């Protein structure tokens, strides 16, 4: 698959539901996998989705901002978001865990080198109608022009 510009930034899908259908079964029926490049001094889009996510830092250094919501029961479930995010530093060979429904954004702290991330999502939430189908975009990556 080619590199593409997306609201999250520059990504390259390595495994997703469409590829699974087009290429035949890889055995990874519940996993989406993509690589992401964040330019020097850049950041990803800010978004949230129901599926938890693992991010492997292949190259670079930076930090994540996470807004972990609290579910409040009213007439229906309402998500309340904190005003200030939690900040998590990362560098090459680190793993970032993003919990279910957490708004998040990756920031490259280097002004000289790109950050390269390998992102893995649980597709099972898509089968339940709650995964990337439930993606809510709060802010696009600066270089996205869509």
Enclosing domain of residue 34: 4-139
- Is there a domain that residue 45 lies in? yes
- Is there a domain that residue 32 lies in? yes
pLDDT tens profile 72-112 = 998 988 889 999 999 999 999 999 999 989 999 999 999 99
- Is there a domain that residue 144 lies in? no
- Is there a domain that residue 26 lies in? yes
Tally of structural domains, the chain: 1
- Is there a domain that residue 146 lies in? no
pLDDT tens profile 32-80 = 899 999 999 999 999 998 889 999 999 999 999 999 999 899 898 888 9
Residue 87 φ then ψ, to 5°: -115, 130
Helix (H) or strand (E) holding 31: strand 31-38
pLDDT > 60? residue 130: no
**Between 45 and 26, where is the model more confident?**
45
- Is there a domain that residue 38 lies in? yes
CATH of the domain at 109: 2.60.120.10
- Is there a domain that residue 18 lies in? yes
Q: What three-state secondary structure class fits 127? A: helix
């Amino acid at each position: 698959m080619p590199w593409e510009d997306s609201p999250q930034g520059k990504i390259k899908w390595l495994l997703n539901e469409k590829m699974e259908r087009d290429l035949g079964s890889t055995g990874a029926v519940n996993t989406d996998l993509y690589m992401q490049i964040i330019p020097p001094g850049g950041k990803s889009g800010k978004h949230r989705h129901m599926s938890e996510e693992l991010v492997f830092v292949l190259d670079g250094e930076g930090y994540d901002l996470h807004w972990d919501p609290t579910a409040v029961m009213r007439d229906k479930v309402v998500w309340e978001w904190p005003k200030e995010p939690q900040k998590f530093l990362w560098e090459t060979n680190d793993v970032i865990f993003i919990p279910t429904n957490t708004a998040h954004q990756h920031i490259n702290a280097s002004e000289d080198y790109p950050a390269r991330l390998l992102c893995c999502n649980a597709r099972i939430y898509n089968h339940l109608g709650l995964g990337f189908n439930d993606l809510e975009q709060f802010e696009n990556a600066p270089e996205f022009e869509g």
